[in-house]
Amino acid sequence: MTKSGWALMLGPGGPVGTAWLIGLAAGLREAGVEPADAELIAGTSAGAIAGAAITAGRDLAELAELPPPSGPPPPVDGSVMARAFELGRDPDLAPDEVRRRIGKLALDAGGLPAERHRQSMRFLVGTDDWPDARLLITTVDVETGEPVVWDASSGAPLSYAVAASSAAPGFAEPVAIAGRRYMDGAFGGSYEHLAEDAGTVIVMEPLPHMPEGAGDVRIVPDEAALEAFGGNVGDRSRWAPVYRQGLRQAPEAAGRIRAALAARR
């Protein structure tokens, strides 16, 4: 990718954050800014789902609401994520060791069966084929703690990479790909370096964790959107209203993106 291109970086945020990102992307399309025109899209967790749906050409309006659940609710242990965040704050642990310990938590906790989670991701993305567009999806190897980035050359079906990137400990089991298991890419740390060759970097984060100043344009939920998020980003019942909040924020975001791209010309 040359410095004249632009990159779209999509951050994590659970099912609620996914709804906001998809609504925002749908609204950008309506406003004349096509997210899939980015020369690079990098997604983590919720961002992986949205990035795959965008680049696969999914009709995002079809995702304004989720279909009713087809089975009993999966076992969820929210305390696992709390323990994971505690590990991340331990100053005596190296990053790889933190991720290895979180990986063990993920393996021990269980959660939504990996195949059921993958099928849900297959529905949201709409295909198992990687797009022609350059799409990067971040994950973490649960045993080594190593961040792993997937793309079209990796050999894994798209839904597997997306499911692995969004497999939050305690909420979904780690996803097996080619004999190894992977968990939520949000634990891999900053992914800003993936766009270091881009001319313009657009960051869309449901739960801002990248430092202030990251990207040329940084789009985050406003006060009304955060109110719609509620206190639990795993609450799928909030999908439709949060999608609409992303849609509402899109015209203003489109103007900022157009201005940033025009400034580079």
pLDDT at 189: 83
Both tokens assigned to 48: 């992986």
Pairing state between β 147-150 and 135-141 = antiparallel
Candidates 159, 165, 184, 216; catalytic one: 184
Q: Is residue 101 part of a domain?
A: no
Residues 6+ apart with CB under 8 A from 243: 19, 20, 22, 23, 26, 63, 64, 65
The answer to whether residues 234 and 171 touch, using CB atoms and an 8 Å cutoff, is: yes
pLDDT at 67: 87
Q: Is residue 180 part of a domain?
A: yes
pLDDT at 185: 94
With vertex at residue 46, the alpha carbon angle to CA 90 and CA 208, rounded to the nearest 5 degrees, is 55
pLDDT at 212: 57
Active-site annotation holds for 4: no
How many domains does the chain fold into? 1
pLDDT at 213: 57
Cα(10)–Cα(238) distance, integer angstroms: 20
With vertex at residue 172, the alpha carbon angle to CA 181 and CA 223, rounded to the nearest 5 degrees, is 120
Q: Is residue 78 part of a domain?
A: no
Active-site annotation holds for 151: no
The answer to whether residues 117 and 162 touch, using CB atoms and an 8 Å cutoff, is: no
For residue 197, the one-letter residue type is: D
pLDDT tens, position by position, for the chain (265 residues)? 445 589 999 999 999 999 999 999 999 999 999 999 999 999 999 999 999 999 999 999 999 999 887 777 777 888 899 999 999 899 999 999 999 999 999 999 978 999 999 999 999 999 999 999 999 999 999 999 999 999 999 999 999 999 999 999 999 999 999 999 999 999 998 777 888 878 899 999 998 765 555 788 999 999 999 999 998 998 999 999 999 999 999 999 999 999 999 987 7
Both tokens assigned to 100: 């290895």
Q: Name the residue range of residue 226's domain.
A: 6-70+110-259
Q: Is residue 226 part of a domain?
A: yes
Both tokens assigned to 162: 């997306």
**Which CATH number covers residue 33?**
3.40.1090.10
pLDDT at 2: 44
Q: Is residue 34 part of a domain?
A: yes
Candidates 4, 45, 77, 79; catalytic one: 45
Cα(47)–Cα(40) distance, integer angstroms: 13
Q: Is residue 93 part of a domain?
A: no
